[in-house]
Amino acid sequence: MKIAPHSKLLLIGDSITDCERARPIGEGLFGAVGKSYVQLLEGLLYAKFPAHAVRVVNMGTSGNTVLDLKARWKTDVLDLKPDWLSIMIGVNDVWRQFDLPRQKEIHVLPKVYERTLQELVHQTRPKLKGLIMLAPFYIEPNKSDAMRARMDEYGAIVKKVAAKNKAIFIDTQAAFDEVLPHMHANAIAWDRVHPNIIGHTIIARAILNAIDVPV
C-alpha cells in the first residue's frame, strides 16, 4: 500500500464526501466519518491493513464548490496537517450552471475552477506525502448530454492539475462508466449525482486500487 503506517488521510469535498460526517472534524467513533465512500474506505483499510492504523478524516461539506474549499482551506486542511490528502470537488461547480442557470454570479466557470484548484494544490502539495485527486462525475451514460459533457470538461481540468502537481489522478467518471452498461443510472444515484451504497463502493474501490489496495 502506498500510504505508510500511522499516516493521516484527509478527504475533502462536497456532499458526496460529507454524508452526515461529524462536526467540526469528521473523525472518531459513532459514524463520525459519515456514510459515504469515506466510511467504506476506512473500513477496508482497517480490515486489510490493521497494523497500519491509518487515520481517516472526512472534511466534506455539502453544497461546496472549489471556491468554498478555498474559504475553509486553512482550517479544514492546512491546520489539520494531513500526510495524505484526497480532493473531490466540481459537481456543484457544474450543477449550478444547469439547475440555476440564471444565477450566473454563483457559477464557477472552467477558468476560475482550474485557477482555484491549482492554487490550493500548489500551496499544499509540498506539505504532503501523497495527494489524490478525483474527477467530478455525472452518472449519465450519454456523453452528449450537456451536463455530462460539461462534467467531463471539469474532469479533464482535474487530470491536468493532478499531472502538474504529481498527484494520483482517479477518473471517477470512468469508474462509473464501467458499470453503466449493466445498470441504469437511477440504480446508482437517484439524481445521477448523489450515489447510493453501490455508487459509494465504486468510488472507494477506485481509491483503494489507486493506492495499491486491490479489492
Q: What is the pLDDT of residues 33-92, one digit of tens each?
A: 999 999 999 999 999 999 999 999 999 999 999 999 999 999 999 999 999 999 999 999
Give pLDDT, residue 9.
98
Q: Mark whether 79 is an active-site residue.
A: no
Catalytic position from the list 14, 86, 194, 200: 194
Q: Mark whether 194 is an active-site residue.
A: yes
Query: For residue 189, which phi and psi values (nearest 5 degrees)?
Result: -155, 120
Give pLDDT, residue 215.
84
Q: 8-210 has which fold? A: Rossmann fold (3.40.50)
Give pLDDT, residue 214.
83
Side chain identity, residue 119: E
Catalytic position from the list 6, 99, 122, 191: 191
Catalytic position from the list 14, 15, 68, 171: 15
Q: What is the pLDDT of residues 184-212, one digit of tens each?
A: 999 999 999 999 999 999 999 999 999 99
Q: Mark whether 62 is an active-site residue.
A: no
Q: What is the pLDDT of residues 142-187, one digit of tens each?
A: 999 999 999 999 999 999 999 999 999 999 999 999 999 999 999 9
Q: How many helices (H) and strands (E) does the chain have?
A: 8, 5
Other beta carbons within 10 Å of 23: 9
Domain boundaries of the chain, sorted by first residue: 8-210
